[in-house]
Amino acid sequence: MAVTATTPTTRPATATSRAGAAAVTGALVLLVAALAVVDVTQGTAAVGPAEVLKALTGRADPADASVVIASRLPRTAAGLLVGAALGMAGAALQAVSRNVLASPDTLAVNAGSYFALGLVSVTGVSLPFLASSGVAFAGGLAAAAVVLGLSGLGAGTVRLVLAGTALALGLTAVTQGLLLLFPQETEGLYQWNQGSIGQNGFDGVVRMAPVAVVGLVGLLLVARRVDALALGDDAARGLGVPVRATRVTAVVLATLLSAAAVTLAGPIGFVGLCAPALVRPLGRRLRGLLRLRAAVPTAGLVGAALVLGADVLLRALVAADTAVAVPTGVVTSLLGAVFLVVMAARLRDTAGAAAPDKLRVRSRGVFLTTLTVLALVLVGTVIAAVLLGDSKLLLGDVVNWAQGRAGRTVSFVLDTRIPRVLAALLAGAALALAGTLVQAVTRNPLAEPSVLGVSGGGALGAVVLVTTVPVAGTWDVAGAAFAGSAVTAVVVFGLAARGGFGQNRLVLVGIGAATATTALISLLIVLTDPFNATKALTWLSGSTYGRTLPDVLPLAVVLAAGVAVAAVRHRELDLVSLDEDTPRLLGLDLGRGRSGFLVLSVLLTATAVAAAGTIGFVGLVAPHAARALVGRRHTRVVPVALLLGAVLVCAADLLGRTVIAPAQLGAGLMTAVIGTPYFLHVLVRGRR
């Protein structure tokens, strides 16, 4: 009787699940079809639904037919293919890694493809379309392998995002350096990296469609094995599933899908993250969608809807002539960043907020020796930075300049070089101090202004001002940068404060905020006058080019105040960095002290951004290295971190000015190349 009673119940439930899945699929197909119809009717030319219908039936004016057949339909087809490929790739990566935050973006697949194509472009070799896809596939697969190897499959939801983001920053910095070094060979690569589904004809879509089909078919064939991985590695092996081979196959197929999308339209950000996440709630109600064989096509439909929806929304809100210049990838990145922040805010943070480093106490002699050596290194770096560049000088030239007896050429060189050196020194010291304060307050070894989006917020504020008020003064730019950093900090720290600044939530929200500010800056640059855009782009590469002494003055004032506060309240910093209970037991107002230090760190970051642009990883490397050298007492950490930050940025600026003189690389690109391996080292050490 028990069997008889259960069977009828099970069958209707299964039938209901299948019917529900079919209904969801049908609704998604209708949604994608509706978005495709609307997308075809949008554009700069006055070609509406009636003209499109005539073009499809062969009764349209030749000019209208040319617009529809050569531009509108290929753009819509590219949006469908790119969205579907990224959605399916994201679903596969999340399933095989058992990580809800896995995607082509968070595994640095897009950044790897960008780097590989840039590396091939500098050789001057012109590759056919399919060969370019192969290069993108190889680069993306290599990046994914590095990220998965460093983070460990199933070793933590956030570790994968951190490793992928750090590697993506480093690879992007190297690629941007290649673009600056070889502008002719890499022409058009930067615009491609913004991600646009605009096409000239169906050639690209026709060539990439079979690649996407191969990826889809391959995923469907290994779907059952991937589903078995959800039971755990041991259980999957017990069922006869080759765990490692299954994972490698799924990652390769997902990378193939991502490479097809990247080759066709450039990196379209966060579709691979959002599409599977939107399918997941449906799977809780309709269990059939939890299986990869159903989840992959469904995520593909959702991805297509996201890309086409972003394109439709962009053209509906922005004038047609302007919308043509705005890449679709900027819109999806902005929406995806918001999505990531929301997911991070809801994430159950199991990492907690621990003290950054439990290091042994160093002797006073070690501290004084370290301080002396760093001071000598700083003096040597400053001398080299003043004397070297596109024009080499002697110490005697500097002495004559200081006494007002230098020639016109020497005076011109030093009048432009000295402010740059000062900007690099002060910016490095300010970012190092800001990173020290943030890591102490949050007790998070991975926290630093650029990773948490505070630097990006400052850059956004500065770019908004210089693009809308080109004659803005130095203090105005510094104020705008502070406003941008303050707003970003309030969002990041406000959302992360729930549960006591947990490591995972804080860094995830920061990464989302940093991505959003980058997307907004790109959007603003596209929408503004090209002259102002060139001026605004200097903030993004962390360049000290064109700085004057008045530009450095706000930074000098804030840094002096910050050093004074840190010196006076160094014991409070020591207590705050320990735990939540000790400061309260000693009568310290933890909330007020924490807020004060965070406000100071925002001020330091904003003025550094206003003076030298966006420079990443200094706030991570300098405090870590300082604690490793002299221990955790902030009366020693602060001066050592200040010297390390100043040396790092000054040396990066010097290398950027001299390696390819008279051409120049921004200091921010150089520090990203240095900081990325260190960030990954810290991540791997934390895993061990």
Domains in the chain: ranges and CATH = 21-338 (1.10.3470.10), 371-687 (1.10.3470.10)
Q: Give the type of residue at 608.
A: A
- pLDDT tens, position by position, 157-167: 567 777 787 78
The candidate with the shortest Cα–Cα distance to 107, out of 328, 257, 223, 326, is: 257
The token pair that represents 509 in the structure block: 């929200």
- Give the pLDDT confidence score for residue 3 in this predicted structure: 42
Confirm if 100 and 279 have CB atoms less than 8 A apart. no
Give a three-class secondary structure readout of 174-238: HHHHHHHHCCCCCCCHHHHHCCCCCCCCCHHHHHHHHHHHHHHHHHHHCHHHHHHHCCCHHHHHH
Residue 183 reports pLDDT greater than 80: no
Confidence grade of residue 352 (pLDDT, cut at 50, 70, 90): very low
What mean pLDDT is reported for the chain? 79
Confidence grade of residue 65 (pLDDT, cut at 50, 70, 90): low
The position carrying tokens 């200097």 is 538
* Separation between Cα atoms, residue 688 and residue 679, nearest integer Å: 15
Confidence grade of residue 50 (pLDDT, cut at 50, 70, 90): low
Distances (CA, A) of 318 to 214, 313, 331, 436, 526: 37, 8, 12, 42, 12
Output the pTM of the full model.
Answer: 0.78
* Separation between Cα atoms, residue 225 and residue 419, nearest integer Å: 61
- pLDDT tens, position by position, 561-613: 999 999 988 888 878 777 666 766 666 666 677 778 888 988 998 888 888 87
Confirm if 103 and 257 have CB atoms less than 8 A apart. no
- Give the pLDDT confidence score for residue 128 in this predicted structure: 79
3-state SS assignment for residue 508 = helix
- pLDDT tens, position by position, 641-676: 999 999 999 998 888 788 766 667 777 777 877 778
- Give the pLDDT confidence score for residue 190 in this predicted structure: 66
